[in-house]
Chains A and B, each alone.
Chain A
């Protein structure tokens, strides 16, 4: 951490020389180290104790993530891989919808672009796993930015329709461009390979997925404490004010679509490697709705919300399946279409009653507990 002294007179920061003002200089010298600003900004405010707690939490999380394959059976690992993929993709959608305030009903289609990208890059071009995934991300980012182009003029309802159109147009392409996508039957994907190591089973896929999922969350968190992330949020809150401050909404809307779809493309790419087949049905509008539900229920505009949403969305189908198991095959037939109804209902109810999602509920509860304990002390 650089002090407020001579080191930061370069680049963006105007030099203090030439502003001869004794009183002011006195104030500056008395000003504490910028670290004070950090701790003041951390709402919890605990300083070193809080930092130590965070480090401890991070170490614990890493230990748990590393230990999963040692203790889990293949069902657990299957669920863990799916969970990781949901986290990556939901983080992408949350960047766009939660942070930048741009709704997308076509997120699944960009995942599809990534999945077909992986299929193409790996089987046709013979590229390795570690190149296929980022390329798939970039391909999806390209598709996302093209979709974002009309958003330069439109917002809200119209943007919802434009992204819905992208969903169906890309779905049409997945179905009909048989030479590339294999049409309705889809296309097979050879298992990922790194060096001589085969990444085929859920056990083998687990670490790469977990690593990328963690990286996605960290990348998003980092982004939102720097220039571009702040611009996203400013644009969401008040785009006219953002513009006056030099945030060009057109530019950042495109960037938001690009970054969001990049995440979607990576997640879709993992799905391709995970299922070893890519079909149009995997990337339907239902999946877009699934992700929208995940971020609305979890909490828009927070990283924590992505995790909570992913947990909720991983648990819900299992819970539904369990319910169906109890009531027999008739209930199972009814529950399949009910899933979409349930998602729609959840979105509406959360938007009306709890726009902060589960993350908002937890945040409030924690604050209340802190107040109560503070009052007791």
Chain B
């Protein structure tokens, strides 16, 4: 399989602290790659370097054959690298439908006057938006019955579902000059293991459905084991193992890293 993303020799420092140390990895197109590692291993930093939020000091990031190491985040997004599925709280006093619609705010254009008149432009835009949500979100996430409810009134599980629905609605439109489609996802740490796993599974299914390559970040090894095609393990800013979940699980270095982290936490 062709590699959509190729990171080589990436180094990142913060005031003398080496956060990423010669990190190299390949993300094959169409699959799900998970970056795992104990707390402070540098996962989020790697994630931010790929998305363009951090500037690495050395190394190269190649996306779909183009060197994007020096490109700002917005340019990377234009090429098809996008962060997605951040955990963003719902707007409690708004309806589920309005919450989902807000996910597409940046794709809409109508202004105050058009909105107040609700003729032509604004009306067309609103209907197109509703058709889009109907087509892409409502069935997929099974939220038809609750579209008119206020978000605050929903039980926790449904609220999570609506958050995801909004994230799905946020999905950037296919960019005309995109060279490929890569999504970076890091579910919030606040969720329980079960919720995180469920959320990631949904994310994975959605991306598979759309043929989008997915790069996940997660510190708990178990959560990603039967989700990912490929796992890359970071520890102290270095890649200590990479391979299929089965290979990685058996890797002595990985076991040691996680055991070390656990005994540290225990002490």
Q: Give A contacts to B, CB under 8 Å.
A: 1-4, 8, 11-16, 18-21, 23-24, 27-28, 30-32, 34, 36-38, 40-43, 45, 219-220, 222-223, 225-231, 233-234, 236-238, 241-242, 244-247, 255, 258-259, 301
Query: A12-B129, A31-B135, A255-B112 known; A226 and B86 CB under 8 Å?
Result: no
Query: A37-B97, A219-B117, A227-B115 known; A246 and B131 CB under 8 Å?
Result: no
Query: A31-B138, A226-B110, A234-B102 known; A13 and B128 CB under 8 Å?
Result: yes
B122 sits at the interface (CB 8 A): yes
A225-B127 Cα distance, complex, nearest whole Å: 11
Query: A21-B209, A45-B148, A230-B98 known; A34 and B105 CB under 8 Å?
Result: no
B78 sits at the interface (CB 8 A): no
B242 to chain A minimum Cβ distance, whole angstroms, is 29
A1-B89 Cα distance, complex, nearest whole Å: 32
Query: A219-B116, A227-B115, A241-B89 known; A8 and B148 CB under 8 Å?
Result: no
B130 sits at the interface (CB 8 A): yes
What residues of A have a CB within 8 angstroms of the CB of B93 in the complex?
233, 236-237, 301
Please tell me if the beta carbons of B108 and A12 are within 8 angstroms of each other in the complex: yes
B191 to chain A minimum Cβ distance, whole angstroms, is 16
A228-B126 Cα distance, complex, nearest whole Å: 12
Query: A12-B128, A246-B106 known; A226 and B89 CB under 8 Å?
Result: no
B65 sits at the interface (CB 8 A): no
Question: Per a CB cutoff under 8 Å, which of A30, A229, A245 touches B88?
Answer: A245
Q: Give B contacts to A, CB under 8 Å.
A: 86, 88-95, 97-98, 101-112, 114-118, 122, 124-135, 138-140, 144-145, 147-149, 170, 173-174, 209-211
Number of A-B contacts (CB under 8 A): 158
Please tell me if the beta carbons of A227 and B131 are within 8 angstroms of each other in the complex: no
Please tell me if the beta carbons of B134 and A36 are within 8 angstroms of each other in the complex: yes
Question: Per a CB cutoff under 8 Å, which of A2, A16, A222 touches B116?
Answer: A222
Query: A37-B138, A37-B147, A226-B126 known; A246 and B105 CB under 8 Å?
Result: yes
Q: Taking CB as reference atom, which chain A residue is nearest B144?
A: A40
A301-B98 Cα distance, complex, nearest whole Å: 15
Q: Taking CB as reference atom, which chain A residue is nearest B171?
A: A14
Query: A31-B138, A223-B116 known; A241 and B128 CB under 8 Å?
Result: no
What residues of A have a CB within 8 angstroms of the CB of B111 in the complex?
227-228
Query: A12-B173, A19-B211, A21-B209 known; A227 and B92 CB under 8 Å?
Result: no
What residues of B have a CB within 8 angstroms of the CB of A247 in the complex?
102, 105
A166-B52 Cα distance, complex, nearest whole Å: 43
Please tell me if the beta carbons of A233 and B91 are within 8 angstroms of each other in the complex: yes
What residues of A have a CB within 8 angstroms of the CB of B147 in the complex?
37, 40-41
A46-B108 Cα distance, complex, nearest whole Å: 29
What residues of A have a CB within 8 angstroms of the CB of B88 in the complex?
241, 244-245
Q: Taking CB as reference atom, which chain B residue is nearest A231?
A: B105
The residue in B86, B89, B127, B135 that gathers the most chain A C-beta atoms within 10 A of its C-beta is B135
Please tell me if the beta carbons of A229 and B131 are within 8 angstroms of each other in the complex: no
Please tell me if the beta carbons of B118 and A40 are within 8 angstroms of each other in the complex: no
What residues of B have a CB within 8 angstroms of the CB of A242 in the complex?
91, 102
Please tell me if the beta carbons of B148 and A227 are within 8 angstroms of each other in the complex: no
A246-B172 Cα distance, complex, nearest whole Å: 12
Please tell me if the beta carbons of B116 and A245 are within 8 angstroms of each other in the complex: no
What residues of A have a CB within 8 angstroms of the CB of B210 in the complex?
19, 21
10 examples of A-B residue contacts, CB within 8 angstroms: A2-B127, A12-B125, A18-B174, A27-B140, A28-B135, A37-B133, A236-B93, A237-B92, A238-B89, A247-B105
Please tell me if the beta carbons of A8 and B131 are within 8 angstroms of each other in the complex: yes
User: Other than the known A13-B129, A19-B211, A258-B112, what 14 A-B pairs have Cβ atoms closer than 8 Å?
Assistant: A4-B134, A11-B128, A21-B209, A21-B211, A34-B130, A45-B148, A226-B118, A227-B109, A227-B111, A234-B102, A234-B105, A245-B105, A247-B105, A255-B112
Question: Per a CB cutoff under 8 Å, which of B124, B139, B170 touches A27?
Answer: B139
Q: Taking CB as reference atom, which chain B residue is nearest A11?
A: B128
Query: A37-B138, A223-B116, A245-B102 known; A234 and B91 CB under 8 Å?
Result: yes
Please tell me if the beta carbons of A228 and B97 are within 8 angstroms of each other in the complex: no
What residues of A have a CB within 8 angstroms of the CB of B129 in the complex?
12-13
Please tell me if the beta carbons of A41 and B95 are within 8 angstroms of each other in the complex: yes
Q: Taking CB as reference atom, which chain A residue is nearest B95?
A: A41
Please tell me if the beta carbons of A241 and B91 are within 8 angstroms of each other in the complex: yes
A24-B209 Cα distance, complex, nearest whole Å: 8
A27-B132 Cα distance, complex, nearest whole Å: 14
Question: Per a CB cutoff under 8 Å, which of B106, B127, B170, B174 touches A14?
Answer: B174
Please tell me if the beta carbons of A13 and B131 are within 8 angstroms of each other in the complex: yes
A252 to chain B minimum Cβ distance, whole angstroms, is 10
Please tell me if the beta carbons of B148 and A42 are within 8 angstroms of each other in the complex: yes
Please tell me if the beta carbons of B114 and A226 are within 8 angstroms of each other in the complex: yes
